[in-house]
Structure 1
Amino acid sequence: MWSKWFSSIFFVAIFVIAITTAATTFETISDDDLVERIKANEFLVVLFSKKNCADCDKYENELFKVRDEFRETFPAEVVKVVDSQLVRLYNPKKEPAVIFFRHGVPLLYEGNINAEEIIHKFDQNRMPIVKELTDDSFEHLTQAATGSTTGDWLVLFYNRECIDCQRLSAVWEAVGAGLRNRVNVARVEKDLRGVKTAKRFNVQKAPEFIFIRQGNFYRYDIPKYDVKTFVSFAQEFYRNSRAEKIKSPASPFDDLVSSIVAYLKNFQTNGINNLINDNTYLIPAITIIGFILFIIVLRCCLRFRKTSDEKKAKEKSKKAK
């Protein structure tokens, strides 16, 4: 009799504990599911956790307090991924990490383990804050050479093959959030749409960072790639770096001269056959030949016109006599 009652009470207790636990934890998903959720959801909050992690449990408890508020405000689901292989893409320090995805763009939360601070930070940064600059837009938006009205800029130069650059995506958005309304944060693809800008600032590698202020720029040569250090550099620490004067953007004529110089160097090194077969130098070669022919034709026309004018002048003077 007592054993039956004891068994019944035991199973009821287990059931109640299971229900309570399920009601106070988040849905745990796999890495594959996470990739699909990021694609499918406009907003998504992800807790990257691991086993036997006290700070992970603290984050989970705080996020649970505002889970319903996330749903109502954005709306955004909150999910958990345990021992994920993807965490390195979003946080170099690994777990715990709280990432807010907005239209697929990740923002790493950097701050106290506090529910209200987390939701306030995410609410302030509903849209991606880092600006994507190209050769066409860089000077117009930054006014770097003149140091005019758009303020200071912290710029990341990256390329698509750079693993460290990929891992900085969420961190760089967090830097933008940390410097919000004080410093503009941007990035430039150095080998494609920003190749002229990278050359202008003598950017040789990726990632590389510069801070632009009042017509000068300062290189970030610190080996630490964390939010706090980037923010500190843009606010004060840049003063410890050497100020370099910003060059004016290259004119079309400057670009042509650079192409001619590069062409001649490669002509000397590789010979005519390699240059003909290499499409990289085909357009500069055609441009150079066309430019030379244009100068020759122009000079011939001017000389012919001068000769013609002199003949007419002599004929007029003869008639006048």
Structure 2
Amino acid sequence: MTAVKHVLLYLLFSVLSLGLSGDLKTVALHDILNIDLSEYTEGSNAALLFIIPDNCHDCHMHKKLLNEISSDVLYSGDIFHLNDMTVPWINMLSAPVILFLNNERKIPYLGPLHRTHLINAMHQFTTGVQSARLDDANFEHDTQASTGSTTGNWLVIFDEITPDTLQIYDGLSLTLRAKHVNIGVLDPKQSTRTAKRFNISIPSDSAQNNPLISAILLKQSTMYQYSENLHRMDYEQVTQFALTGYPNHIKGSIPRPRMML
């Protein structure tokens, strides 16, 4: 009798798991481009898109994560798998890649390929988290750098601000905000006063798609500056610097704001 109960409980759990786990759909490129995203509104579950080509030899971690999340009884959102090399909506990335989709945004997931990190980033996405758009006018107000960063720890990226670059940094913000680090982007060519304040200069002959950038972390009234060459697409290095690697880089006092002449 006990064995029968165990079998019945197993079958019941299996049925519940099938009912609660994410709804996985394998789609073609034209299907995903024509998908109706109106039901995925901010504040509700977003859709997950895994772009994993079948002939990819370095995609085992992405495939493993897709299998885990699609069978997760605690995740009930829609999951799409695109077997293609093309990455729609994101010009700067190539497959394999994971995207969060809703009716307003298409943002890449750039965190560790682990279910818990992905779920945490999904929560940040659904609540509208994004990178701060910083400039000379709002930098001090938003970061409160010279007053002790009472708004929290800030990773500041000095790079060109375009719709394409903001997609990348918005993707980074999902992982970093889950770890209580704010991320802001400032264009040093446009906001020259703040760039000079932090002694930031970006080479003018940088590669167009993956140029050199600069990064600083403002943490507990101290500034840490990334001390090695850093490129826009080095998001793993950026994340590591912001979370754990900053003690290995240049440490100094946060410079006071420059007076306007």
TM over 0.5: yes
Pair 1:250–1:117, CA change in 2 (3 A): closer
> After superposition, what is the alpha-carbon deviation per residue over 1:203-232, rounded to whole angstroms, capped at 9, x for unaligned?
211522111234442221334654443233
Structure 2 unaligned residues grouped into runs of 5+ = 1-22, 203-211
**What TM-score do you get using the length of structure 2 for normalisation?**
0.65
> After superposition, what is the alpha-carbon deviation per residue over 1:164-185, rounded to whole angstroms, capped at 9, x for unaligned?
x946733653355235353221
Q: Which residue of 1 aligns with 2:242?
A: 234
Q: Which residue of 1 aligns with 2:8?
A: none
Mapped partners of 2:200, 2:247: distance in 1: 20
- Alignment map for 1:253-268 (pairs within 5 Å): 255=261
- Alignment map for 1:261-300 (pairs within 5 Å): none
Q: Is the 8 A contact 1:106 1:173 kept in 2?
A: yes
Q: Which residue of 2 aligns with 1:288?
A: none
Amino acid at match of 1:111: P
> After superposition, what is the alpha-carbon deviation per residue over 1:35-83, rounded to whole angstroms, capped at 9, x for unaligned?
x669876544222221323625444434543698214xxxxx6352501
Mapped partners of 2:76, 2:257: distance in 1: 48
Q: Which residue of 2 aligns with 1:182?
A: 180
Match of 2:198 among 201, 204, 207: 201
Pair 1:154–1:38, CA change in 2 (3 A): farther
Instruction: Return the offset for 1:155.
Output: 0.6
Aligned-residue RMSD, C-alpha: 3.7
> After superposition, what is the alpha-carbon deviation per residue over 1:14-48, rounded to whole angstroms, capped at 9, x for unaligned?
xxxxxxxxx964222149x64x6698765442222
Match of 1:51 among 49, 54, 57: 54
Mapped partners of 2:223, 2:120: distance in 1: 33
Which structure carries more helix by proportion?
1
Q: Which residue of 2 aligns with 1:26?
A: 26
Larger-gyration structure (1/2)? 1
> After superposition, what is the alpha-carbon deviation per residue over 1:293-320, rounded to whole angstroms, capped at 9, x for unaligned?
xxxxxxxxxxxxxxxxxxxxxxxxxxxx
Amino acid at match of 1:139: E
SS in 2 for 1:125: helix
Larger relative contact order, structure 1 or 2 (CA cutoff 8 Å, min sep 6): 2
| 1:222 is aligned to 2:228 | yes
**What TM-score do you get using the length of structure 1 for normalisation?**
0.54
| 1:61 is aligned to 2:64 | no
| 1:78 is aligned to 2:86 | no
Q: Which residue of 2 aligns with 1:137?
A: 138
SS in 2 for 1:145: helix
Pair 1:133–1:234, CA change in 2 (3 A): same
Bigger mean CA offset, 61-70 vs 179-188: 61-70
SS in 2 for 1:232: helix
Instruction: Return the offset for 1:122.
Output: 0.7
Mapped partners of 1:117, 1:234: distance in 2: 16
Pair 1:63–1:213, CA change in 2 (3 A): closer
Instruction: Return the offset for 1:107.
Output: 3.4
Amino acid at match of 2:188: K
User: How many pairs were matched up?
Assistant: 217
Match of 1:244 among 242, 246, 252: 252
Q: Is the 8 A contact 1:88 1:167 kept in 2?
A: no
Mapped partners of 2:224, 2:24: distance in 1: 48
Q: Which residue of 2 aligns with 1:20?
A: none
Amino acid at match of 2:139: F
- Alignment map for 1:96-107 (pairs within 5 Å): 96-102=96-102, 103-107=104-108
Amino acid at match of 1:200: R
Instruction: Return the offset for 1:101.
Output: 3.3
Mapped partners of 2:222, 2:153: distance in 1: 10
Mapped partners of 1:89, 1:217: distance in 2: 32
> After superposition, what is the alpha-carbon deviation per residue over 1:241-296, rounded to whole angstroms, capped at 9, x for unaligned?
223333322233xx3xxxxxxxxxxxxxxxxxxxxxxxxxxxxxxxxxxxxxxxxx
Mapped partners of 1:211, 1:82: distance in 2: 37
Q: Which residue of 2 aligns with 1:294?
A: none
Q: Which residue of 1 aligns with 2:20?
A: none
- Aligned-pair identity in percent equals 23
